Chain A
């Protein structure tokens, strides 16, 4: 009975990309570097869009700036400046980018930094689109969009792998609808299943999506609370 009496022992937060790079020791290991690169590659696009549309840089310039920004972070051992208790990774990145953009050292950094690490393939960057605006807002909007898009992609591939294309189809028709507001009835008609199944599929898909989101967020979050806050921000 003891465990239940104590309300259940809390399990440790699983190791995330974030927490693994925060671990002390071996600061320059290849593994750590790879982890950071992965972390950055995920959030490359919001940073790019922010620079391109928020700071209004031309395409080529923006690509360089983003590359420099990440390289600078890596070289500076930026994690020393980060207090994980103080906030979300997103806020940190946003603030770091703002500093970087305002920092005159940027130009000098462009020449010597980079360390040869190419953070992300830059193909297709020219087609990235976002509305110009306040850099922070652009960043957040782009962040939101990329997180959701990534989660929906994963949902699609998960459900397809599991042979549940129909579940995804229902979700797509209902929760990702464009234009006219769908009803259970209209989705049922289009997919040829019962309305009650529409409801169940929808419920299941939403649950999956949420789980995927939580997992993805946990890759850059610091702890459960951080995940919770971030998910609340993302889901409105």
Chain B
């Protein structure tokens, strides 16, 4: 090992470190693989992270966190290596066989929606079944995630548990309890074992029913038998809440496996608990007979058979075959009422007790047929009915096929938009909101959405795409309406609900803050949202609350709700946490800025609002929030800049303009203040505070006439307000002083008299306020009317004794001059 060797060896390890970092960033959706590769090749080994920070793709803190994470991951993995099962150790050699903390070991099966892998959880050290979605049709993705969502609510020893829903941008997956055993697909069992298995499955299914979940696709492939004999029901892929929940699929009837399908499903009617009873019966049938109950040369034929509801023939004739037939009755009301009832019945059979179901004779069967088809009460007509049903079904299938083509085309447009969405997110995060490429991506997104809608105008994912394009454009009002349309078609469309909630909240565009100046210090006050906003807030809250736990928008929503309630602590804690993970939600940064401000951390607030602006949210509220952040710390120069930016975007915000003008006066930038007041006073109602403040600016600039005019106007508007007189008087004194300086004694005297009159007015409004006397006294002094002045000062002192000290000098001067 010479130093050169060590150097090369370290270099090689640095390359690997960069690669691991890239993997984590890709996993987080912060980088796409091609880009990661290009960037990695563009820098020296070991400097990849630094480059990303320089490019502002990640922050320093993020980088540190990711590096730590990758380090800990490695260390833990290596340390536990030796205890790992052989298969896992082998799989570990292939870094591609990793998804998050899982090591992929082998494929267990491939289904319609994707692949199922046997995997190893490297953190919790246990086997898992990982179900990956292949292809990325949004419809399928949603069904997939919904399965996870529904199934994760179920916790029963007979149902495979959901450990984790992996919302991986490229490879969404579900981590499920791994069952060491096999599915019952294609198997034929002895009658007793078959009965035991279906009994256990029925108990588990009943539990799901109690939780409001219907499985809808029960078949041997979805029943697992573990080595130790335990039975698990799995794959809630078609499951649907028993109540509510709109149709997810345009062509409901073609979902599910036709071989085990209940007649009502084949006919596209809604499923209920008894549909699963049928599925359990069909499963039992298959386990006993070694073949599925409905067979045919193609699915059309199978569906046709299933819809007839004819119970298939059975080889044995015993109690068990009676149970199968009753579970598989064509009419739901003829089946076992619940899965539990079926389980109990199988239990009776296993114990050798008499079962409750009675064998059905030919007569009863005939009666049932009549009941089902009352119009055709003869066997001949029954045959015709079958043909009619067939034609009807045929038409239906044709229509569905047409729909399906349409949906597929729309999905192609939606799929094409997917990279755009990712690109927009990336650009936003990189603070490239002003990049022309952003505009391009947004336009493209709009046109994709438009063409998806042209193809299938009532297809929820297409409408959703349109909503997203509006959302990204920050046209929240339109987006809110669009997402509402999605939800009217499919109330379970969580993403649309989440976005609608956000859009609603973001529509509260004004900043619920008030800037209060008292005793020279500045405070920020929360102004609760007015009642006209309440409905919007309530709507947003409803949206957020009806999202499933763990949905990202729900988390944001709850933080926003805390803010709207005035719980800034909770809001900022929540938002800080969320924004640490995905930092590109500019609006959330904005509300974090407000929450920080109200919670008393103006520095954090400034950082948050700067981040929001960086991310392209350059609207008036964001700039105003930052202006407040500056102003509350006395940095008025920065505050007026941001306020100007806010006003440029929303000139109709008098309150902010007023504050800006006041800050300008603090900065002694009177010219600019003057311009702001000109704008404010250009439209009614004329406010006295604006007039008075403008008069200050005029006065300071030496435009005494204008200053006096404004103050006089204020007196006219508010003749009972002593302070308007005060300002008028002060302005006149200032004018007099200027005139004296210019040696224009006579006009100066006129102004002083005017000032005296103004203070007379003040005293008549507020006779108990010493200030009026003080000011009048000073005006009189300047006119050498010392006796009257002295009287005024004495009056003031009599009203407030502590003025004696302040006025002592003035009073002495008066006395001296009187003598």
Contact = CB atoms under 8 A, between A and B. Distances in A.
Contact of A202 (B5, B12, B125, B162): B12
A87 to B, nearest CB: 18
A149 B9 CA distance: 11
Contacts of B93: 204, 207-208
Given A176-B9, A215-B81, A236-B10, A228 B164 contact: no
A176 B15 CA distance: 15
A228 B17 CA distance: 13
Contact of B78 (A4, A203, A210): A210
Given A215-B79, A228-B72, A236-B14, A1 B152 contact: yes
B123 interface: yes
A214 B9 contact: no
Contacts of B82: 215
A187 interface: no
Given A210-B16, A211-B81, A11 B9 contact: no
A148 B14 contact: no
B75 A214 contact: yes
A144 B19 CA distance: 24
B74 interface: yes
A9 B125 CA distance: 10
A149 B74 contact: no
A214 B8 contact: no
Contact of B80 (A11, A152, A232): A11
A4 B164 contact: yes
Contact of B12 (A174, A178, A218): A174
Interface string B123-137: 111000000000000
A14 B75 CA distance: 11
B6 A148 contact: yes
Given A145-B1, A178-B5, A228 B13 contact: no
A224 B72 contact: yes
A111 interface: no
Interface in A67-94: none
B101 interface: yes
A145 B124 CA distance: 35
B378 interface: no
A231 B162 CA distance: 36
B16 A207 contact: yes
A197 B11 CA distance: 19
A144 B6 contact: yes
A9 to B, nearest CB: 7
B428 to A, nearest CB: 28
Given A1-B163, A152-B1, A176 B8 contact: yes
A99 B454 CA distance: 83
Contact of A9 (B17, B75, B78, B124): B124
Contacts of A148: 1, 6, 9
A227 B12 contact: no
Nearest to B162: A1
Contact of B95 (A203, A209, A211): A203
Contact of B1 (A149, A206, A218): A149
A175 interface: yes
B75 A228 contact: yes
Interface in B596-612: none
Residue in A207, A212, A232 whose Cβ sees the most chain B Cβ within 10 Å: A207
Nearest to B2: A178
Contacts of B16: 203, 206-207, 210
A212 B13 CA distance: 13
Question: Does more than half of chain B's interface fall in helix, strand or loop, or is it mixed?
Answer: helix
Interface string A1-34: 1011000110101100000000000000000000
Interface string A126-163: 00000000000000000011001100100000000000
Contacts of B32: none
Nearest to B122: A8
A4 B698 CA distance: 67
B9 A231 contact: no
B109 interface: no
A108 interface: no
Nearest to B163: A4
Contacts of A232: 71
B12 A175 contact: yes
Nearest to A150: B1
B8, B13, B17, B19: residue with the most chain A Cβ atoms closer than 10 Å? B13
B809 interface: no
A235 B18 CA distance: 13
Nearest to A232: B71
B75 A227 contact: yes
Contact of B74 (A11, A174, A210, A236): A210
Given A228-B71, A236-B14, A211 B77 contact: yes
B4 interface: yes
Contacts of A145: 1, 6
B481 interface: no
A144 B1 CA distance: 10
A102 interface: no
B76 interface: yes
Interface string B75-94: 11111111000000000010
Contacts of B152: 1
B76 A224 contact: yes
A8 B71 contact: no
Q: From B1, B10, B80, B95, name the one whose CB has the most chain A CB atoms within 10 angstroms.
A: B1
Contacts of B10: 235-236
A155 to B, nearest CB: 11
A2 B652 CA distance: 51
A137 to B, nearest CB: 13
Query: Of A152, A208, A231, A235, which is in contact with the most chain B CB atoms at under 10 Å from its CB?
Result: A235
Nearest to B125: A11
Given A174-B12, A175-B8, A236-B14, A231 B75 contact: yes
B79 A14 contact: yes
Given A211-B81, A215-B78, A8 B124 contact: yes
B163 A218 contact: no
Contacts of A204: 93
Nearest to A174: B12
Contacts of A175: 8-9, 11-12
Contacts of B8: 174-177
Contacts of A209: 9, 13
Contacts of A14: 79-80
Contacts of B17: 235
Contacts of A210: 13, 16, 74, 78
A20 B436 CA distance: 62
A215 B8 CA distance: 22
Interface in B1-54: 1-2, 4-6, 8-17, 19, 46
A114 B222 CA distance: 70
A127 B368 CA distance: 100
A210 B75 CA distance: 9
A59 to B, nearest CB: 22
Given A210-B74, A224-B76, A3 B13 contact: no
Interface string A38-78: 00000000000000000000000000000000000000000
Contacts of A215: 78-79, 81-82
B9 to A, nearest CB: 5
Contacts of B46: 236
8 contacts: A4-B164, A148-B6, A174-B12, A177-B8, A207-B93, A208-B93, A214-B78, A224-B76
Given A1-B162, A11-B80, 7 more contacts: A8-B101, A148-B9, A204-B93, A218-B75, A231-B71, A231-B75, A235-B13
Interface of A: 1, 3-4, 8-9, 11, 13-14, 144-145, 148-149, 152, 174-178, 202-204, 206-212, 214-215, 218, 224, 227-228, 231-232, 235-236
Interface of B: 1-2, 4-6, 8-17, 19, 46, 68, 71-72, 74-82, 93, 95, 101, 123-125, 152, 161-164, 175
Please provide the 7 A-B residue pairs with the shortest distance between their CB atoms, ordered closest to farther: A214-B78, A211-B78, A8-B123, A175-B12, A236-B10, A235-B13, A4-B164
